[in-house]
Amino acid sequence: MGISMAKRLDKVEDLPSLPHTLHKVLEGLDSVSASAKTLEGIIREDPVLTAKILKMANSPFYGVQGEVSSIAKAVVILGFEEVRGLVIGLSLTGTFGGDLGVEEFDAQSLWLHSIGVAKTAHMLATHINGCVPDELFTAGIVHDLGRFLLCLYFPSEYKAILEQKRQSGQPLFKVEESCGLSHAEAGAYLAKKWALSDMLVNVVRYHHHPGSAGSYSMPASIVFLADELCHKLKIGWDAKGEIGAVLVPRALGLAPETIKKIARKIKKEKESIEASWSKVLSG
């Protein structure tokens, strides 16, 4: 199935390239010496991104008194990590922001879902030894990239898959897999083409089957759980009743109380995440 998906994507000539800003952020900010100055420099090169970051920093979500008028100030007020996350999110939403051509999906709600998963994965990672929360944020943002590809490049087949999902009541990813058109495979293909890290490629490929991710099963399990929680809390795109009880991969070793605490925190932030990102995504 993976091979045929890859073969089909090999034939697509106009696949999007890795957003320039994202490339710089992932390259330049992974080093220990990465500083707020490096981040500011990357943002300043991109006027659209600069405008979006300032718009976001001034949204009620952050509750900042007075106007945030410079990137330097935004980094001081919002923090390095938060701004890094914004840059990653915004550079990707700029690439896949338009009409996806499939009624059940709109780019805005898919991105809200991905941002919710990124934030939740970041929080979960802070409770697990050996995980880098920033990396998990990035993994959350990109985990469903394949959905954008399938909507954009295989719209009629994807519509048929959605129809089959409606009729069978099966989870969408399972119907995709049985039809040989898996969003996880498609996303992993793009992540690889973009030369993202092996961790990111594997998390994208196995986020619905974290037990199969080999040495990346821990980050894949974190994104799996974050995905479950966001569907349960209906953040962004909603799987419409796919999720009953939230499945928690045992490998994570998280106490139920910790997961409940994180779910409560995300639930509390849901409205503000939706309000602030909707504003940026719609314009």
Name which of 87 and 223 has its Cβ closer to Fe ion.
223
Name which of 54 and 262 has its Cβ closer to Fe ion.
262
Nearest to 80 by CA among 45, 126, 42, 114: 42
Dihedral angle sign, alpha carbons of residues 230, 214, 154, 278: positive
For residue 144, the minimal CB distance to Fe ion (Å) is 4
For residue 172, the minimal CB distance to Fe ion (Å) is 8
Helix, strand, or coil (residue 180): coil
Structure tokens at 44: 């300043």
Name which of 44 and 166 has its Cβ closer to Fe ion.
166
Name which of 40 and 238 has its Cβ closer to Fe ion.
238
The DSSP code sequence of 19-63 is PHHHHHHHHHTSSTT--HHHHHHHHHT-HHHHHHHHHHHTSGGG-
For residue 227, the minimal CB distance to Fe ion (Å) is 4
For residue 45, the minimal CB distance to Fe ion (Å) is 31
Name which of 46 and 144 has its Cβ closer to Fe ion.
144
Question: Which H or E run contains 71?
Answer: helix 71-78
Name which of 144 and 269 has its Cβ closer to Fe ion.
144
Interaction pattern, residues 151-190, with Fe ion; x per rule: CB under 5 A: ----------------------------------------
List binders of Fe ion among 60-119 (CB under 5 A). Answer: none
For residue 40, the minimal CB distance to Fe ion (Å) is 31
- By CB under 5 A, the count of residues binding Fe ion is 2
Name which of 177 and 227 has its Cβ closer to Fe ion.
227
Task: Establish how many alpha carbons lie within 13 A of residue 67's alpha carbon, considering only the half-sphere containing its beta carbon.
Answer: 3
Residue 195 backbone dihedrals phi, psi, to 5 degrees = 60, 35
Task: Establish how many alpha carbons lie within 13 A of residue 102's alpha carbon, considering only the half-sphere containing its beta carbon.
Answer: 23
For residue 124, the minimal CB distance to Fe ion (Å) is 14
**How far apart are alpha carbons 262 and 245 in whole angstroms?**
16
For residue 248, the minimal CB distance to Fe ion (Å) is 16
Interaction pattern, residues 108-147, with Fe ion; x per rule: CB under 5 A: ------------------------------------x---
Phi-psi region of 255 (alpha: psi -120 to 50; beta: other; left: phi over 0): beta
Nearest to 89 by CA among 142, 27, 17: 142
Residue 86 backbone dihedrals phi, psi, to 5 degrees = -60, -40
Q: How far is CA 225 from the centre of its chain?
A: 13
For residue 110, the minimal CB distance to Fe ion (Å) is 9
* Chain length of the chain: 283
Name which of 144 and 274 has its Cβ closer to Fe ion.
144
Interaction pattern, residues 212-241, with Fe ion; x per rule: CB under 5 A: ---------------x--------------
> Which chain residues interact with Fe ion by CB under 5 A?
144, 227
